[in-house]
């Protein structure tokens, strides 16, 4: 068993190293990422905003979620990260409302991963209002408190806003990551020139592109801030 453990460890790190080696060293616009024709407004002023568009029932979003969470942790204060649940059709809406209800209740940190696990590990589709409420109660949430928020006008407004953002960013598949309201990348975009590579390699390549785009966006933010700082009056003026 110890020998098998060493072999599996070697394979894991071998795949990770291969993914890093196969990653695009110099990301190219139109190949490894896309640039929106019209940049979208962002909420963060001093940090680079990173937004993941996702769908709980998407198997690729499920596989991407944990390594993305680890990548976000490594960024520290450089970025402002948020998720946006998409709705390509009406059956997606219950999961949009689930996400924003958990967010309003302050339960995302505890239950976001459990939603993925329920769908992909336990085969609970969570694609109807009744299924979502039933699942929430089984997680120990108060049925009335959850239902009041889930069916509330504010939650519906957030879901509608998510769909508006999805359209503004021209999201045509998930997971998709937007950097600073201007750049888009994803494992599927990066994977177009990485044929027949394992998903872990595509993730490694995507994070390399994201690192590069965050650095570029941060530099652009700094350059845009300089004229404003230079023109600001000093106390002695």
Per-residue pLDDT tens over the stretch 79-112: 999 999 999 999 999 999 999 999 999 999 999 9
Q: Tokens for 191?
A: 């994977």
* pLDDT tens profile 123-158: 999 999 999 999 999 999 999 999 999 999 999 999
- Spell 12-36 as b/e; 16+ CB within 10 A means b: eeebeeebeebbbeebeeeebbbee
Given pLDDT bands bounded at 50, 70 and 90, which one contains residue 232?
A: low
> Which tokens in the block code for residue 134?
């039933």
pLDDT of residue 23: 47
**Rounded to whole angstroms, how far apart are CA atoms 185 and 213?**
9
| Rounded distance between C-alpha atoms, residue 128 and residue 131, angstroms | 5
pLDDT score recorded for residue 234: 55
pTM: 0.85
- Tokens of residue 68, six digits: 């993305």
Neighbours of 11 (CB within 10 A): 10
DSSP H stretches of helix in the chain: 2-22, 59-75, 93-105, 108-120, 129-138, 143-150, 153-168, 187-190, 199-231
């Amino acid at each position: 068993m110890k020998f098998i453990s060493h072999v599996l460890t070697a394979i894991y790190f071998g795949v990770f190293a291969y993914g890093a080696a196969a990653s695009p060293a110099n990301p190219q616009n139109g190949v490894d990422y896309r640039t929106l024709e019209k940049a979208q407004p962002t909420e963060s002023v001093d940090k680079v905003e990173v937004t993941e568009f996702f769908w709980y029932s998407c198997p690729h979003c499920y596989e991407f979620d944990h390594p993305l969470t680890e990548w976000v942790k490594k960024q520290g204060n450089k970025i402002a990260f948020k998720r946006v649940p998409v709705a390509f059709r009406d059956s997606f809406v219950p999961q949009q409302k689930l996400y924003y209800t958990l967010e309003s209740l302050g339960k995302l940190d505890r239950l976001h991963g459990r939603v993925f696990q329920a769908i992909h590990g336990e085969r609970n589709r969570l694609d109807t209002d009744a299924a979502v409420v039933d699942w929430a109660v089984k997680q120990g949430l108060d049925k009335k408190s959850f239902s009041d928020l889930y069916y509330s006008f504010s939650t519906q407004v957030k879901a509608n806003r998510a769909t508006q953002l999805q359209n503004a960013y021209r999201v045509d598949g998930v997971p998709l990551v937007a950097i600073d309201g201007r750049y888009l990348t994803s494992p599927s975009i990066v994977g177009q020139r990485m044929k027949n590579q394992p998903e872990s390699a595509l993730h490694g390549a995507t994070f390399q592109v994201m690192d590069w785009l965050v650095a570029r966006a941060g530099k652009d933010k700094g350059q845009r801030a300089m004229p404003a700082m230079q023109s600001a009056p000093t106390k002695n003026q």
